[in-house]
Amino acid sequence: MKKVITYGTFDLFHYGHLRILERAKALGDYLVVAVSTDEFNAVKGKKCSYPYEHRSKIVEAIKCVDEVIPERNWDQKIDDIKRNDIDIFVIGEDWKGKFDFLKEFCEVVYLTRTDNISTTQIKEEIRK
């Protein structure tokens, strides 16, 4: 069985989120999604519209997602990969090169983002 992992905040869940999860799952048989906790988002300077408990439940309900785990800090990725026997790490292409150090532990795939949609864009539209 080929296992895949991806990470994200998944605030204001939208079509771009769904597409990246579906494409991540298509690379393997089992998809683990690490959703950023509220505490970790605060460290990153992010303020979410919904708390971790809600965001993780939404992601967990997506049929291509097999398991949701909390993302508590930047440094947990190697441990997550080892603990979950991960074969492929997937992240959006805007992170290209930033996670190449994980190639020692698994394959690293950078996926293109969905054009014309992002949580930041949605939040800006709501503010108008």
Kindly list the catalytic residues: 44, 46
128 vs 126: CA distance, rounded Å: 6
109 by Cβ neighbours in 10 Å (0-12 / 13-18 / 19+) ranks as middle
Count of beta carbons in the 10 Å neighbourhood of residue 100: 11
Contact criterion met (CB below 8 Å) for 81 and 89: yes
